[in-house]
Amino acid sequence: MYQTLTFLHSLFRWIVLLSLIYSIWIAFRGYFYQKTFGKKEDSVRHWTATIAHIQLVLGIVLYSRSPIVKYFWKNFSESKASLDLLFFGLIHILLMITSVVLITIGSALAKRKETDREKFRTMLIWYFIALVLIFMAIPWPFSPLTNRPYFR
């Protein structure tokens, strides 16, 4: 089960990143080129938030099953000195939860804005900040915090 969850979580990260980058692109173009916020844009806003929520659920289930996380919490005093254990035990999940909260807030606020320009602007700001946090929290192969392969 753990291996399957790890694979799904790793694979789904790419879907989250692509949907978030696409949403930011749509918001950028809409804001700077004064486009209309129609059904397509609203659907992109909604599905990006939904995809992020699915990934968060996968991540929380994986977190509860992870031997690394279990070891981290059982040996907290010693584990917090290890950057790899600290990253997966605390940093990764806190940054990802924060990112999904930002995406959720941005989506909800954009939905309620009056003008199309305000909707695009809201999406652009909130989703971009979430994307930056996500990029920091992903264990990239080149990350100084900890690293994992692109696909597991």
Tell me the DSSP string of 104-126.
HHHHHHHHH-SSHHHHHHHHHHH
- 106 exposed, middle or buried (CB, 10 Å; 0-12, 13-18, 19+)? buried
Domain parsing of the chain, residue ranges: 2-137
pTM passes above 0.75: yes
> What is the residue-level pLDDT of the chain in tens, covering all 152 positions?
889 999 999 999 999 999 999 999 999 999 999 999 999 999 999 999 999 999 999 999 999 999 999 999 999 999 989 989 999 999 999 999 999 999 999 999 999 999 999 999 999 999 999 999 999 999 988 887 777 777 77
**8-state DSSP, 5:** H
Q: What is the pLDDT of residue 66?
A: 94
CA 125 to chain centre: 15
Q: How many CB atoms lie within 10 A of CB 116?
A: 16
